Amino acid sequence: MSRREEEVVIIGGGPAGLAAALSAKKAGCERILILERDKELGGILNQCIHNGFGLHTFKEELTGPEYADRYIQMVLAEEISCLLRTMVTNISLEEDGWKVVTAMNKDQGLLEIRTKSVILAMGCRERPRGALNIPGYRPAGIYSAGTAQYYVNMEGRMPGRTVVILGSGDIGLIMARRMVLEGAKVQCVAELRPYSGGLKRNIVQCLDDFGIPLYLSTTVSAIHGRERVEGVTLTRVDENGKPIPGSEWEVPCDTLLLSCGLIPENELTVGLGAQMDAKTNGPVVNERLECSISGVFACGNVLHVHELVDHVSAEADKAGRFAAAYVQTEGRLI
């Protein structure tokens, strides 16, 4: 087992982790380590090839990868250490107040890192489709919108040609446009609630621009097809979200994309024993973004789902400074 000691360990190399690392460094920390399970830094932004990022932070409109790259270049310039393809599996608290971060990667095997402070920046993930409660078989052709985004934008593979999207969150809207641009037919977006969960600008530029209908108060009540999706039944729902009998209609499609919201990724936080907030699904934090375990900070989507990456960066900047201040009062390593 490989062991090392750090002042600040940052879990996750997305926009939150990158901005936190930079501000901790600027605040005087020398021993900072970013742990990222992916093969590159940047987090989910790498697959968000559309524009609209960075208006607050950089005063210009960037695509996701461009926004991430600005931070990656700053982190490299500051010579902050990063371990890629490194998965954190556990965080624990020692009696002397140090934290132990356990991680794994191919080159070093098991890693045990003792650190004064930890910044949680693991981001969020999409709600699993099991939570959707659609009866019937599970034929091929059902994807979460984020998974489809990964296939199309990272691997250049199309999940299907005729698409229905359930859920009108921003990722679903962005994917509706993306699939049309790549030659697919997007039949419609169905939204259970009487209003869209996405930004107005995305309804305009992703649906209206391409004539894709948005059906509010509508859900998928059945999925057809045995091997592969062949179509879905859409049903109107009443104000309590209950299907209205007789309002069903069928829409042929070979692909169903689910865009049903994001949840913070907090297995590690729960494992550490930090107090959780049932409303946000993130840890409870004080005004210093410190959770119930002193010296453990959280920022970005792991804390609560942020609409804008610019807000993530701003929050992470604070978390980095608070972590640096904690390290200073607890005694520096060097």
Ligand X SMILES: Cc1cc2nc3c(=O)[nH]c(=O)nc-3n(C[C@H](O)[C@H](O)[C@H](O)COP(=O)(O)OP(=O)(O)OC[C@H]3O[C@@H](n4cnc5c(N)ncnc54)[C@H](O)[C@@H]3O)c2cc1C
Q: Which residues bind another protein (CB under 8 A)?
A: 46, 49-52, 55, 61, 63-66, 69, 152-157, 181-183, 199-201, 203-205, 209, 307-308
Q: Distance between CA 138 and CA 147 in Å, rounded?
A: 17
Q: How far is the CB of 184 from another protein (least distance, A)?
A: 12
Q: How far is the CB of 109 from another protein (least distance, A)?
A: 26
Q: Which does 157 bind (CB under 5 to 8 A by kind): another protein, ligand X, none?
A: another protein
308 binds ligand X (CB under 6 A): yes
Q: How far is the CB of 199 from another protein (least distance, A)?
A: 5
Q: Distance between CA 325 and CA 287 in Å, rounded?
A: 14
Of 205 and 292, which CB lies nearer to another protein in the complex structure?
Answer: 205
Which residues, 112 to 131, sit near ligand X by CB under 6 A? 121-124, 126
Binding mask 55-94 toward ligand X (x if CB under 6 A, else -) reads: --------------------------------xx------
17 binds ligand X (CB under 6 A): yes
- DSSP state string for 195-232: S-SS-HHHIIIIIGGGT--EESSEEEEEEE-SSB--EE
3-state secondary structure of 247: coil
Residue 196 phi/psi, 5-degree rounding, is -85, 145
Contact 20, 68 (CB under 8 A): no
HSE on the CB side for 267, CA within 13 Å?
5
HSE on the CB side for 329, CA within 13 Å?
9
Q: Which does 201 bind (CB under 5 to 8 A by kind): ligand X, another protein, none?
A: another protein
Helix (H) or strand (E) holding 72: helix 64-77
Q: How far is the CB of 140 from another protein (least distance, A)?
A: 18
Question: Apex CA 123: angle with CA 279 and CA 179, to 5°?
Answer: 105
312 binds ligand X (CB under 6 A): yes
Q: How far is the CB of 31 from ligand X (least distance, A)?
A: 19
Contact 199, 177 (CB under 8 A): no
Among residues 9, 32, 48, 180, the one that binds ligand X under rule CB under 6 A: 48
- DSSP state string for 146-179: HHHHHIIIII---S-SEEEEE--SHHHHHHHHHH
CA-closest candidate to residue 86, choices 138, 33, 158: 33
Of 35 and 237, which CB lies nearer to ligand X in the complex structure?
Answer: 35
Q: Which does 35 bind (CB under 5 to 8 A by kind): another protein, ligand X, none?
A: ligand X
The piece of 211-219, 231-239, 283-291, 308-316 that touches ligand X (CB under 6 A) is 308-316
Q: Distance between CA 129 and CA 107 in Å, rounded?
A: 34
Among residues 160, 167, 225, 300, the one that binds ligand X under rule CB under 6 A: 300
- DSSP state string for 78-109: TT-EEE-S-EEEEEEE-TTS-EEEEEEETTTE
Of 63 and 247, which CB lies nearer to another protein in the complex structure?
Answer: 63
3-state secondary structure of 5: strand
Of 234 and 256, which CB lies nearer to ligand X in the complex structure?
Answer: 256
Q: Which does 88 bind (CB under 5 to 8 A by kind): ligand X, another protein, none?
A: ligand X
Q: How far is the CB of 236 from ligand X (least distance, A)?
A: 28
Q: How far is the CB of 22 from ligand X (least distance, A)?
A: 13
Binding residues for ligand X (CB under 6 A): 11-17, 35-38, 43-45, 48, 87-88, 121-124, 126, 146, 149, 170-171, 174, 262, 265, 268, 300-302, 306, 308-309, 312
